Structure 1
């Protein structure tokens, strides 16, 4: 789909960074971006955001704006954000879903959920001087390679990382592979989307080609957008904290000492980490926030309490056991390290 826009808002000074929590909306096998209409989709996802999430998410029919509530702290954000789900593989070969923890300061968020950022410049830059454009209705994107099982295959997506949490405040020593040691406070996955848009396409066949990372340098270093993708947007980032603490007894880990966690589609390396985003902010609320000087907490943003976020929930349409001790991952997947096509 092709669209053209006048980016008059880029002339304004944009100085905002926002960080907020979203409670869990639902956990099930649906993926309206990669496998629209498929019920169930190949693997389990955990979804947050607006309650109009469904198997198709046709931008012409059921935009996230049709939601009447959102699990996100930003009350005007009816977007949907989702990732795969992490499982623990026991020594006897059975699997158990790893629950999520809310980020520091957001205790009580239902299901743990995730923390979402919209950044114009590096997180540590409190001035956020770059000018950016908000996404447009119908926009969506995907990041990652679900087939990756080696470092070379994951190299394109070095912005998808893990942090072995020694404490809830740990934020250093990121890795692209899943941590190979016990993580006392859990494992955090950080997923950073591209921030350069081609200015025309709200989506693309691979859900990524309409977006790009900087042509040189990095987002954090203020690298320039390539000429093919000249419109600078916020960088969207997810932080998801997986509560691996119940599985931290090394006696339960594989006899060969390998790490025991596996994504819901079978990847036991961590290289295939990926995430999906469907834009759904109400009217121009996101652009107004981005055009207002603020850092993390923005007075111009409408917010809701964690209790209000938790009231917004959705019943799974795919009925299956995703939480018990399972002999195989939902969808028939098994933990594997070698590249194999995902089941369709």
Structure 2
């Protein structure tokens, strides 16, 4: 035996057991490091996905839930049904700049799959794709903005399902300034589900993650009680029109739901202010121009873009946005505060009856009215357009310019079931104008492929940021709504030729 070597046969049995244990442990560690579940994060680089809500298209059984793939425990796993395709997704709670996704596969891995990102849980962008997956632990470099991160498997490696020990997402919640997401052209890029799984996120037009939650009004309105008085001309008109045309189209920005995040929303069609984008503020609107007739109306109005197939369809010419009294005592209606913003409707709505209740006649085309959804056909006549008249809430809490869901600070009036008619609730006592979008799109004939970028008809919604010149808005409300008139965009009621009402605005649509 050469000097410096040790014969294992001469070692005591106890020392052999110790040495063997060390060898086995080291081999196990190296094997685990090479092929087993591996946490690639350091102590200061923890996965943003850990402990966050997770959903999946299906489960192999109750013992393999989606949450097991984001619990940080390498001994628990998600496993799907035994079919293609299947998916699992995690809701990070807010849009982040995603830089890396780690997939720790069980033996039932995907040979073909995609890693997809979404800011709203509806429209998805592919950040990574492969058709030659090898399983094990895969650390994938991706780049994009996403609140939701999804593994979408299209081909299994075995006869079993897809199975993950861990799905880990790494990135920056603040995100680099260059982080953007390329929006899909239409909702058809959303992958079909199998097993009926769905997202539990609240992105989209209501409940988005943008903004700062409750935003206090600089001049709150307090000590106001809802009016139960019965005014004269109770059943008359109390309104004026804002006639506005499209100012920007097919832009995937939403300064209410996703402020400061360009490209984060589905496509929108904007009216009114010509500068509206993801970076919009009240100050920037005040410096902009408008496509509305009233030059003092610098407000931002927008809605999801209508698609016919994959082709965007914009309203042509001036569209009508009514400013009406939503309460019976129209004399109590006062102007919006500068900077008030809200969202009307819900981009994820599936309740067609609830949608219909907030409209005048539902979707209209030709002689067809009260449609809960976009009709499948309309008369093939050039004069026929798809119409909607959708009404906003008009009772403000008097305290906040915005709320976390962009709706809680302003609600609909309630029916008093008395002579007082419609009144504001005590929680939201300040009566403000009721906006009513009256939109018309030049589509007719076969309507089977007509939809919004948010989805089917009941997902229609619209957004508003008030940037009216304060004196102009106050004069229009006083001269039309409070004065019980039916005014045009100049604040003129021409119904009575014998006693014509005065104009609020001059021929240039400016306040004299």
Q: Does 1:264 align with 2:487?
A: no
| In structure 2, distance between residues paired with 1:303 and 1:228 | 41
Structure 2: 5+ residue stretches without partners = 1-214, 492-502
Secondary structure of 1:173's counterpart equals strand
Secondary structure of 1:55's counterpart equals coil
Map 1:23-172 onto structure 2 (within 5 A): 23-27=245-249, 28-59=251-282, 62-67=283-288, 69-89=289-309, 95-101=310-316, 112-120=317-325, 129-151=330-352, 155=354, 158-160=357-359, 162-166=362-366
Secondary structure of 1:291's counterpart equals helix
Q: From the superposition, tell whether residues 20 and 137 of structure 1 become closer, same or farther in structure 2 (CA, over 3 Å).
A: closer
CA RMSD across the alignment: 3.1
Specify the structure having the higher radius of gyration (Cα). 2
* Residues 80-127 of structure 1 deviation map (CA, whole Å, 9 limit, x = unaligned): 1111111112xxxxx2222323xxxxxxxxxx35211101259xx9xx
Q: TM-score, normalised by structure 2?
A: 0.47
Q: From the superposition, tell whether residues 44 and 66 of structure 1 become closer, same or farther in structure 2 (CA, over 3 Å).
A: same
* Residues 146-188 of structure 1 deviation map (CA, whole Å, 9 limit, x = unaligned): 112343xx6267314643221xxx6x72333212332440111
Structure (1/2) with the larger strand percentage: 2
Task: Number of aligned residue pairs: give it.
Answer: 262
| In structure 1, distance between residues paired with 2:449 and 2:290 | 34
Assess if the C-alpha contact under 8 Å between 2:364 and 2:388 holds in 1: no
Q: From the superposition, tell whether residues 304 and 244 of structure 1 become closer, same or farther in structure 2 (CA, over 3 Å).
A: farther
Structure 1: 5+ residue stretches without partners = 90-94, 102-111, 254-258, 306-344
Q: From the superposition, tell whether residues 19 and 302 of structure 1 become closer, same or farther in structure 2 (CA, over 3 Å).
A: same
| In structure 1, distance between residues paired with 2:278 and 2:223 | 32
Q: Match of 1:300?
A: 504
- Cα deviation for residue 16 of structure 1 reads 4.7
Q: From the superposition, tell whether residues 303 and 162 of structure 1 become closer, same or farther in structure 2 (CA, over 3 Å).
A: farther
* Residues 123-153 of structure 1 deviation map (CA, whole Å, 9 limit, x = unaligned): xx9xx843201101111110111112343xx
| In structure 2, distance between residues paired with 1:7 and 1:49 | 33
Q: TM-score, normalised by structure 1?
A: 0.68
Assess if the C-alpha contact under 8 Å between 2:341 and 2:402 holds in 1: yes
Assess if the C-alpha contact under 8 Å between 1:16 and 1:291 holds in 2: no
| In structure 1, distance between residues paired with 2:362 and 2:272 | 23
Assess if the C-alpha contact under 8 Å between 1:143 and 1:276 holds in 2: yes
Q: Match of 2:388?
A: 189
| In structure 1, distance between residues paired with 2:475 and 2:453 | 37
Secondary structure of 2:476's counterpart equals helix
Secondary structure of 1:190's counterpart equals strand
Q: Does 1:200 align with 2:422?
A: no
| In structure 1, distance between residues paired with 2:487 and 2:262 | 38
